[in-house]
Structure 1
């Protein structure tokens, strides 16, 4: 049940990846804080996903809400808007059903939150062989966030392994010096609910490709500052292909984003409220 001090709603988007969703949900049962609810934003998955969610609800003790819509192609913006509407927390953490959260993920987002500010996180991409090695035991032991374990299992060595640092000092330094801009990336982003409601949520005309960036750009135009936390709020991304990616939708979305930037738009008429 929601406790009296619940402040956050973790919104997890998913589509027909029940085995991965099971792992992702499990990572939230291990969080160092419990003052949050989970909203699964489901873009039309079959019954297998519902069974995973129902089982997790019984086992975890966390409040979880399954927001589902009929499968009608890639309609992520619509289900995310429904999830925002269903959320009870005044602070929203957005992530995906292929991103496993480190134990301090929710706590860190809540500790770093600021009024009129959004926290822009990132993810560490696991290669295919590592993805196939992830299990409940691996998550329990937090091995998928351990650089040495990953390297031993076949993850290539790279600077990006620094995304898994446990040092707050190192994380703060890297957050400040990274050339990567703080943007609204749906796999790891948080903001006050009122700030995304003020811009009317996601633009439901948009398919895959920049749909999250566009809502962030409207929030920026509306005065919300974006803070870089990619080395502080940690999650790992399971490897997969993107068959829903196509050039037509990318071009259509790019045109919407161009108009948002050029006209400094702060609101969409194609969001939560329809006009």
Structure 2
């Protein structure tokens, strides 16, 4: 099967120990992305030094897109990173995610015109998360000690199409495991830069995809990944961000005004 060219976008902020495991798992893929782009929301020098080390030995290009730390500005740095992407297809994860070695292959096999993908994640509990940052472990399965939400760690890709959810609902889309065509991302003007702080940026983007007739596919039993435990981010901006999401739903908005192209024009 001929797959589209692919850029893997990895968002990160001041957690090089987790990013180390994430990059290690991406570079162990059966099917490699064409490039990795790290969307860095203002991390300190330790993260840059880690990325420098990976860039020196990686068989594929690794790009580091960074802006100064001015609070939680994930939407802006993701837009900037995707502007640098050469791939037709974008696979997006967070830097605290460890991916199965068939993760990229499964996403590319699921890529279809007119749809975007919402993946799932298994969770790694706190004790195991601390341990793997020391022993650099990246291999897990559904019955591994410390894995929670075990069904999300089951990989049976030949059964994946049997899992069906509402393709017109943006609910539960998570940027830690999602995929879309770059052209569709450009069509909706990317992430909304007005959403700062934690909350709702992924479902707001998904709602605009859906308003443009781009269906959601919930990918389960494939594209398995594991989320490293961390404390919750501040929810101080959640209500502010939710307003934008609700506006997209109520008005049927297809694009945001302050998004992907606003950075290119700046």
For residue 47 of structure 2, the aligned residue among 5, 26, 49 is 49
Aligned to 2:220: 230
Whether the 8 Å contact between 1:218 and 1:260 is mirrored in structure 2 is yes
Q: Is the 8 A contact 1:6 1:35 kept in 2?
A: no
1:13–1:80 contact (8 Å) kept in structure 2? yes
Q: 3-state SS of the aligned residue for 1:62? A: coil
Matches within 5 A, 1:180-259: 183=171, 184-207=173-196, 208-246=198-236, 249-259=237-247
In 1, Cα distance between the equivalents of 2:4 and 2:181? 14
Structure 2 residue aligned with 1:90: 88
Q: TM-score, normalised by structure 1?
A: 0.87
CA deviation vs aligned residue, 1:222-246 (integer Å, no higher than 9, x gap): 1101101033111000001124322
Quote how far apart the aligned CAs of 1:176 are. Answer: 2.6
Any conservation in 2 of the 1:121–1:231 contact (CA below 8 Å)?
no
For residues 48-103 of structure 1, the C-alpha deviation after alignment (integer angstroms, 9 at most, x for no partner) is 00111111112222210000000000000100000110111010011100011100
The residue number in structure 2 matching 1:147 is 142
Q: Distance in 2 between matches of 1:85 and 1:34?
A: 20
Deviation, 1:6, is 7.1
- Closer/same/farther in 2, CA of residues 23 and 155 from structure 1, 3 Å limit: closer
Q: Which runs of 4+ in 1 moved over 3 A?
A: 169-173, 181-184
Structure 2-normalised TM-score?
A: 0.90
Structure 1: distance between partners of 2:136 and 2:194:
41
**Residue 266 (structure 2) pairs with residue 271 (structure 1):** no
Show CA shifts across 1:194-246 (max 9, x none): 00110100111102110111011001001101101033111000001124322
Q: Distance in 1 between matches of 2:122 and 2:226?
A: 5
Contact map agreement 2:21 2:136 (CA 8 A) in 1: no
Cα distance in 2 between the residues matched to 1:186 and 1:177 = 18
The CA deviation at 1:35 is 4.1
Matched residue, 1:103: 101
Q: Please, what is the CA RMSD of the aligned residues?
A: 2.1
2:189–2:259 CA contact under 8 A, matched in 1: yes
In the alignment, structure 1 segments of 5+ residues that lack a partner are: none
